[in-house]
Amino acid sequence: MNIVANLPVLVIIIPLISALLIPPIGRLNRTFSWYVAISATFLSFLISISLLDTVMANGRISYRLGAWEPPWGIEYVVDYLNSFVLVVVSFIAFIMTVYSKKSVEKEIERSKIPFFYSVYVLLVTGLLGMIITGDIFNLYVFIEISSLAGYTLVAMGKKRDALIASYNYLILGTIAATFILLGIGYLYMVTGSLNMGDLRERLPMLYHSKVVLTAFAFFTVGLSLKLALFPLHIWLPNVYTHAPSVVSAVMAATSTKVGAYVLLRILFSVFTVEFDLHSVPITKILLLLSVLAIIAGSVLAIAQTNIKRMLAYSSVGQIGYIVLGAALANQLAMTGSLLHILNHALMIGALFMVVGAIAYKTGIEEISGLKGMGKKMPLTMAAFTVGSLSMIGIPLTVGFVSKWYLALGALEAGMWYFIPVILVSSLLTAIYFWRIIESIYFGSAESETGHADYALVHNPHPVFGNRGDAPLGMLIPTLLLASLCIVFGIAAFIPVSVATQAAVMLLGAN
């Protein structure tokens, strides 16, 4: 069997089979479940790199499942956009798996740990599948796989609030997925095809048709919920706050990004730019929503006292950037949007891993509990500082790179008024992050708010094991992502070249 030729499907099969194998293996030895998870995610990562490499050398890869011809068979397509997002997601998934061991031991019941890893790997399978598939119904299946895995993982959080968060997420997520299913149905109805490439060719003559418009509407709404675009973001804060730390980290760094990827695919590869600009004023709607997301996310983040919730609202804002870039629909802005998929994944991944490390070491989840943490967990806090500076958009960090492209894209589109939005939100971001940095390093004895000991009073676990940084297993992945925030901020040309190619492809002829 030719492995290389079958890589596109192996990137899914390996995690899928591993997910099935983990529970029985975990029965024998709990740690083995972690090893299998690591191997699966690592192999997927390697395959993603290989696919990216192939795409860069040879162009688009088209893979037929079971050698059935499209549009009757399911086709997997790997192009610049896909492979880029595949690498990002599989990399994050792998790093998070390495990170997860200690965190999971502390936050999840021991007997459930193998099941945790099984569902976790299923989540990864679903996400990778969403990215790589070229068949629209296959997309729905993978959306549901990743969503169901997500609901389960979230529900494993410590407090009972996790259950409610998961339930609400389930209801909203299922409605959204069903909308997507409806959209698929309408498209199938008028074209008879489920293959994305095929649809792209058949749809243009149907652009005027109400059926197509309805399908488009259902898609957009359903996907907007998945990627938590304001105002369909309401499930996100509770989910990120109450889920186990690793789950928040992984979902924040990947799920919404993959949702964004799917939206881009539908908007630009199935439908085309012409449709988006002329048939439906979707770009204008998305522009408006993205601005609302950016502002609302930043403002709401300032009001939070729980770190995870603050990061959740911050994410809502950052997703706004991605959509803004896509909706501006020119090459510079789209490049920025795609870059932000990588950059935000790195930043928020690092930040959530820091929060998880703090929770692991001290149980603290309130911002007020972070006073003076700079001395107790210096390296972890350094990672937090780097991530924060990157979010604010200091030059030489990845955050700056995304904003640079978005700003230039806005100017290119003649819509300079988006630049103040980006800049103001950077300042708002600075407010809620700098507040924490100040507290971490310069935490003064008196606190103006009187919340000084709230965390300690309400937290039954006083600071234990406090003279020490996070354990190495958690520290190294965190530092790795944090340093990548700088590496790709300086050596930005690596992701930029891929993102630019992907942007050109999305916006131009296929």
Partner 1 sequence: MEMIELILGKYNYWIYIALMMIGFYATIAKENLIKKIIGLNIFQTAVFLFYISIGKVDGGTAPILWDKAVLYDNPLPHCLMLTGIVVSVSTTAVALALIIKIYKAYGTIEEDKILEMGEEEKTPTPGSWPQGSR
Partner 2 sequence: MDIIQSAKPLYAIAASLIAIVPIGISHRRPNLRETWTILASLVKFSIVASMFPVIFSGKVIEYPILTVLPGLDIKFRVDALGILFAGTASFLWIVTSFYSIGYMRTLKEHAQTRYFIFFAATMAAVVGAAFSANMFTLFLFYEMITLCTFPLVAHKQTPEAIRGARIYIIYLLGSSVAFQLFAIFLTYFTAGTLEFSRQGILSGKGSDVLLIIIFILFIAGIAKAAIIPFHNWLPAAMVAPTPVSALLHAVAVVKVGVFTVLRVIFFIFGTDLLHHLNLSTIMAYFVSFTIIVASVIALTKDNLKARLAYSTISQLSYIILGAILLTPSSMVGGIVHIANHAFSKITLFFCAGSIYCAAHKTEVSQLSGIGRKLPWTMTAFFIASLSMIGVPPVAGFVSKWYLALGSLEAREIPILVVLLASTLLNAAYFLPISYKAFFEEPEKGYAGNSHNDDTHGHSDSHGHGDAPHEEIREIPMIAIPLVITAIISTLIGIYPDYILSLARDVLK
Site for partner 2, rule CB under 8 A? 389, 392-396, 401, 404-405, 407-408, 411-412, 416, 419-420, 423-424, 426-427, 430, 434, 438, 441-442, 444, 446, 489-493, 496
Q: Smallest distance from the beta carbon of 16 to partner 2, in angstroms?
A: 39
| The pair of three-digit structure tokens given for residue 504, joined into one six-digit string | 């050109």
Q: Which is nearer to partner 2, 285 or 494 (CB)?
A: 494
148 contact, one of partner 2, partner 1, none, CB 5-8 Å limit per kind? partner 1
Report how far residue 406's alpha carbon sits from residue 286's, in angstroms, rounded to the nearest whole number.
Answer: 15
Q: Which is nearer to partner 2, 352 or 405 (CB)?
A: 405
164 contact, one of partner 1, partner 2, none, CB 5-8 Å limit per kind? partner 1
- Residue with the two structure tokens 């000084």: 452
461 contact, one of partner 2, partner 1, none, CB 5-8 Å limit per kind? partner 1
- Contacts of residue 276, Cβ cutoff 8 Å, sequence gap at least 6: 267, 268, 282, 283, 329
Q: Smallest distance from the beta carbon of 415 to partner 2, in angstroms?
A: 12
| The pair of three-digit structure tokens given for residue 187, joined into one six-digit string | 């498209």
- Contacts of residue 504, Cβ cutoff 8 Å, sequence gap at least 6: 331
Give one word for 122, left, alpha or beta, with left for phi > 0 and alpha for psi -120 to 50.
Answer: alpha
Contacts (CB under 8 A) with partner 1, residues 432-471:
458-461
493 contact, one of partner 2, partner 1, none, CB 5-8 Å limit per kind? partner 2
Residue 135 DSSP class: B
CB hemisphere CA count around 281 (13 angstroms): 5
Instruction: Select from 100, 35, 89, 30 the least CA-distant residue to 470.
Output: 100
110 contact, one of partner 1, partner 2, none, CB 5-8 Å limit per kind? partner 1
CA dihedral for 157, 163, 167, 169, sign (positive or negative): negative
Q: Smallest distance from the beta carbon of 70 to partner 1, in angstroms?
A: 14
Q: Which is nearer to partner 1, 198 or 276 (CB)?
A: 198
159 contact, one of partner 1, partner 2, none, CB 5-8 Å limit per kind? partner 1
Q: Would you give the distance in Å from CA 40 to the centre of its chain?
A: 19
CB hemisphere CA count around 441 (13 angstroms): 12
Q: Smallest distance from the beta carbon of 461 to partner 1, in angstroms?
A: 7
Q: Smallest distance from the beta carbon of 392 to partner 2, in angstroms?
A: 8
Report how far residue 128's alpha carbon sits from residue 142's, in angstroms, rounded to the nearest whole number.
Answer: 8
One-letter amino acid identity for 508?
G
One-letter amino acid identity for 440?
I
Q: Smallest distance from the beta carbon of 347 to partner 2, in angstroms?
A: 17
440-to-61, 351, 375 alpha-carbon distances in Å: 48, 14, 8
**Is 202 a binder of partner 1 (CB under 8 A)?**
no
Q: Which is nearer to partner 2, 150 or 489 (CB)?
A: 489
Q: Which residues bind partner 1 (CB under 8 A)?
A: 106-110, 137, 141, 144, 148, 151-152, 155, 158-161, 163-164, 166-167, 170-171, 174-175, 177-178, 181-182, 185, 188-189, 363, 365, 458-461
